[in-house]
Amino acid sequence: METDFLVIGSGIAGLAFAVESAAYGKVTIITKKGRSEANTNYAQGGIAAAIDSNDSIEYHIKDTLNTGAGLCNEKAVRIMVTEAPSIIKRLCELGVDFTKAKNGKLDLGMEGGHSMRRIVHTKDATGAQIENSLLHNTSSEGITLLEDWIAIDLILKDGKCIGVWALDEKNNKIFSIFSKIILIATGGAGSVYLHTTNPSIATGDGISMGYRAGATIANMEFVQFHPTTFYGKKIGERALLLSEAIRGEGGILKTSKGNTFMEKYDARKELACRDIVARAIHFELKNTDTDYVLLDVTHLGEKFVNKFPNIYNSCLSLGLDPLKEPIPVVPAAHYLCGGILTDLDGKTNIPNLYVAGESACTGVHGANRLASNSLLESIVFGFRAAKSAIGEIKKIHLENSTSTSIKNNLNSSICDNNIISEYLSDIRFIMWEKVGIVRNTKDLEDALSKISQYKIEIDALYEKHAISYALVELRNVVNTALLITKCAIMRKESRGLHYVLDYLAKDDILYNRDTVISNNS
């Protein structure tokens, strides 16, 4: 199969790239499940943009840099934040129906770490609204979108990326897809952890593929844990997120005995940055030996139902009426700040290979992401990558290299699903227990040794058995877990999301820099 622009992943980053490049060549998107099954589809709070008359680009930049704890690339932040207002306009043109206030202007929500109300949203289902609008545009542009196709590995020739190996799951066939430009937009890696807000697709596939191919990876230790997810019951494999915007509207955190506690940790209380709130909850649970804290919205009454209708209904479906009793909440893995290192146009160190969205490390988040900056980053840098690729494509000759091959052993035996599930559960448990919100060197070393051993065993399983969807994901999960753990060990300080009991201070002399790792180093 051949194409001009190959997009791996159909979340906001991949779709933005596809829509932007459609007029300049044949665009093919492959996505490993149904077209809308992506983190994007579950995004609640919204997308940050300084559009209020009291707000300014400089305030948004300042909040982003403060949250990033000294590690943001200021140039990248400035680009993202400056482009935000026009991105909101463009999304409206693409059909996104954002919620309006009574005065007819866009309603602006509030989230942790922001000094102003600046979260543009569609009630509490912003991601689904954006995903559907972009998908609609993708189909009206005549873009080919292949569902249930999972990318396995990048194809390289003479150091350049020329395509990808992919499994067409429905037909159980492996194909090479050759392309002039390849975009990785495979999202994050929440599923590497036992408890996560992410759907099961988030297994770090693109980052692992990139790593195996020699792409430079950065800042994998900065895993963001969302402070508030429903305790004890899941929706499928996902923890139900209780949007930070709920605290922006007055939701209060309390211990299970009903006492407030955030005032002990930060003057901004419930609206401190996410790392601070998640850690505060972690310590409260540990100190009081309880399993959850409470998010109290009972005083918000109908305002809660109007602002958060989907969350309200999800709580009801889990057997709790948030207007009658506080919601039991715990933190869960939510977002990966690190990824494949890119320049300001989504380019990687491998020619013709671009990355955008949660798989990328553009530098805008540094050591901690400001709430609602992720949809923004994905679309800003998705569009920028497309613009750069459009400029490059005229110079690129399509390679159709018959000399490349993959371990194509679909006729070998299928790996037992129980074995795969056992490895997955073990890795997720280890990551949760030992590479979580609060870390220590002994646990990190222990995790490194166990996960390294699992990697050897899983790579052997992969070699021996037929390539399958589950095996491809397992191979990526173990690799991503290892990258997170290795980066966490390399950073011997506490900064932003990386909090290590043995190194509680921030060390600006030795560690005011990205943690960079590659297969070649």
Segment near ligand FAD (CB under 6 A); pick from 9-17, 68-76, 254-262, 477-485: 9-17
Q: Is 197 in the site for ligand FAD (CB under 6 A)?
A: yes
| Helix/strand/coil for 226 | strand
Q: Residue 364: CB partners within 8 Å, gap ≥ 6?
A: 64, 68, 72, 73, 76, 77, 80, 373, 377
> Per residue in 71-100, is it b (16+ CB within 10 Å) or e — as a string?
bbbeebbbbbbebbbebbebbeebebebbe
Q: Is 42 in the site for ligand FAD (CB under 6 A)?
A: yes
- Enclosing H/E stretch for 327: strand 327-336
Tokens of 475: 């191979």
Residue 463: count other Cβ atoms within 10 Å of its Cβ. Answer: 10
**244 vs 473, beta carbon nearer ligand SIN:** 244
Q: Residue 307: CB partners within 8 Å, gap ≥ 6?
A: 123, 124, 245, 249
Least separation, in Å, of the C-beta of 472 and ligand FAD? 7
Out of 243, 348, 359, 468, the residue judged to bind ligand SIN by CB under 6 A: 243
Question: For ligand SIN, how many residues bind (rule: CB under 6 A)?
Answer: 9
Q: Which of residues 140-169 bind ligand FAD (CB under 6 A)?
A: 150-151
Contact of 51 with 250, CB cutoff 8 Å: no
x/- string (CB under 6 A) for ligand FAD, residues 20-39? ----------xxxx---xxx
Q: Which of residues 214-233 bind ligand SIN (CB under 6 A)?
A: none
CA 13 to chain centre: 11
Q: Is 212 in the site for ligand FAD (CB under 6 A)?
A: no
Q: Is 331 in the site for ligand FAD (CB under 6 A)?
A: no
Q: Is 241 in the site for ligand FAD (CB under 6 A)?
A: yes
Q: Which among 35, 78, 274, 495 is annotated as catalytic?
A: 274
Whether 274 is a known active-site residue: answer yes
Contact of 286 with 314, CB cutoff 8 Å: no
Task: To the nearest 10°, report the CA torsion of 492, 495, 499, 503.
Answer: 40
Out of 45, 113, 339, 363, the residue judged to bind ligand FAD by CB under 6 A: 45
Q: Is 277 in the site for ligand SIN (CB under 6 A)?
A: no
Q: Residue 235: CB partners within 8 Å, gap ≥ 6?
A: 314, 318
Q: Is 368 in the site for ligand FAD (CB under 6 A)?
A: no
Q: Which of residues 327-386 bind ligand SIN (CB under 6 A)?
A: 335, 371-372, 374
List contacts with ligand SIN (CB under 6 A). 44-45, 243-245, 335, 371-372, 374
List contacts with ligand FAD (CB under 6 A). 8-14, 30-33, 37-40, 42-47, 126-127, 150-151, 185-188, 197-198, 201-202, 205, 241, 335, 357-359, 372-375, 378
The catalytic residues are 274
